[in-house]
Amino acid sequence: MRVVIIGGGAAGLFASVLLARDGHEVVVLDRDRLDLAGDVESASASAFRATAPQLVQPHVVLALCRELLLQRLPDVHAGLLEAGVAEAVLATQQPPSLTDRSGRPGDERLTMLMTRRSTFDWVLRRAAEDQSGLVVQGGVRVTGLLAEPGEPPRIVGVRTDHGEVGADLVIDAAGRRSPVDDWLTAVGAPPSVMASAECGVAYFARHYRLRPGADLPGLPTTRVVAGLDEFTVGIWGADNATMVVAVVPLVEDRRFRGVQDPEVFTAVLRTIPYYAAWLDVMDPITHVFPMAGLHNTLRRFVVDGRPLALGLLAIGDTVCTTNPTLGRGLSLALRGAVDLVDTLRTDAGDPYARALTMDHLVVEHIAPFYADQAVIDSTRLAMLRHRISGAPAPSPPPATGPVTYAQLRAAAPFDPVAFRGFWTVMGMLRRPDEVYRDPEVIEHTRATIRAHGMQPPVVQPTHEQLLGALRMSVAV
């Protein structure tokens, strides 16, 4: 089968390599130049793209993505380790407050990979370049779909600014800004149906390198994200002795408009002792990267049991985007690519059945994480707006219902059951609602919160300390 994939990001490259290894003829088209850098540091230096600002923000390869790599792309997993990506077993995420540090069956599945996104993409692009049956063409902009009329229409290729490209199957992996609805409308098909929920936050991230021989305040594979009273802050271990730190305020909180200034960014971090200790052992290697305009989205291409078009499928951010704080993007991209390959292996060439199967797998494997993120963000945004501007507080969860993500996260630093429940949700190895409704998780989480409350995992600044740091900006 000849397959054209629109988009050369992670989702497109995952799918392209897997499909080529299944014997398909694959062409990847991307509007940006996709020249392969000579090494990981060169890749990092050229990682920023205006069309994909998330590439320089914090990333982590969660347990699901690592597991799928080991099962389906073991050479890519090996290449990541060769390139300096670090494996972080579950024990490395245990905080000092967790007194029961004994291992449990299944802990090995909860291992993460700590990396900059640029390093991950560099390894994946190398695998694509070396793959027979696969051609990656950068600098080619897709402008529309080629279709044969029908109910629904059948997609037979794409139009580009370099001419037409025929295909037996077109995969949209163009990302969250995909113009696929305009393309569908132009060939007589209805647009996709999209659910959306606000993220409501802006990201300001900076990359650092650990000083050789420094006495670190934690492991280099540290990942600590803290939801404070007025903003969120996090640090992520990465590859080759690098760390990424992010300050994440409400997008409408104008007090943070100067935090893109490196001095203000540093001053804000120094109001939090935990992050200040990390600043003392590492040096910045980039400026501060901003990112905003984010939403949680879920797009469906089957409506009322009927595909919008035949011969067109979608994966990655085209189908689902979630707040980057939890790092779910790569896992959702690889999950979608694996589902695509498995669908093509079993659909007997029936494009109608193929579309229905892919939609079913979106409902099973993708939609639960969109729904979870929408609830997490809604609750978090309501709390921030309540504390900052006096908006109504979010309603507390019913005492007889399941635990919430926030409750599980608050209990995880103290209780081994809650700790593993939290990292199971984080690792995406079970549907979130299954974990939240697990009787053992509920019992341990509620008992722990009664004993310890809902405090963030780090000592946070006072309101006055935060304002003092933010006032360093000349823009204020």
Distances (CA, A) of 325 to 41, 239, 374, 391, 410: 24, 19, 12, 23, 16
Total number of residues shown for the chain: 476
The residue type at 426: M
Residue 332 near residue 344, CB atoms below 8 Å: no
* Distance (Å, whole) CA 94 – CA 91: 5
Coil, strand, or helix at residue 218? coil
Q: Return the pLDDT at 475.
A: 43
Q: Which of 439, 381, 383, 441 lies closest to 411 in space, CA to CA?
A: 441
Tokens 């560099």 appear where?
122
Residue 271 near residue 150, CB atoms below 8 Å: no
| 475 burial level (CB within 10 Å; 0-12, 13-18, 19+) | exposed
DSSP 236-266: EE-STTEEEEEEE-BTT-GGGTTTTSHHHHH
Q: Return the pLDDT at 398.
A: 77
Residue 37 near residue 46, CB atoms below 8 Å: yes
Tokens 């054209």 appear where?
4
Q: What is the pTM of this model?
A: 0.95
Distances (CA, A) of 456 to 53, 85, 230, 243, 249: 28, 28, 12, 21, 16
Residue 253 near residue 125, CB atoms below 8 Å: no
* Distance (Å, whole) CA 30 – CA 13: 11
Q: Return the pLDDT at 476.
A: 39
Note down pLDDT in tens along the chain; length 476 residues: 999 999 999 999 999 999 999 999 999 999 998 888 999 999 998 887 777 788 899 999 999 999 999 999 999 999 999 999 999 999 999 999 999 999 999 999 999 999 999 999 999 999 999 999 999 999 999 999 999 999 999 999 999 999 999 999 999 999 999 999 999 999 999 999 999 999 999 999 999 999 999 999 999 999 999 999 999 999 999 999 999 999 999 999 999 999 999 999 999 999 999 999 999 999 999 999 999 988 999 999 999 999 999 999 999 999 999 999 999 999 999 999 999 999 999 987 899 999 999 999 999 999 999 999 999 999 999 999 999 999 998 888 777 789 999 999 999 999 999 999 999 999 999 999 999 999 999 999 999 999 999 988 899 999 999 999 999 754 43
> What is the biggest distance separating any 2 CA atoms in the chain, rounded to whole angstroms?
67
Ranges of H-type helices in 29-171: 40-45, 63-72, 74-82, 117-129
For residue 96, the tally of other CB atoms under 10 A from its CB is 8
The residue type at 110: L
Residue 217 near residue 259, CB atoms below 8 Å: no
Domains along the chain?
Answer: 2-49+118-197+294-372 (3.50.50.60), 203-293 (3.30.9)
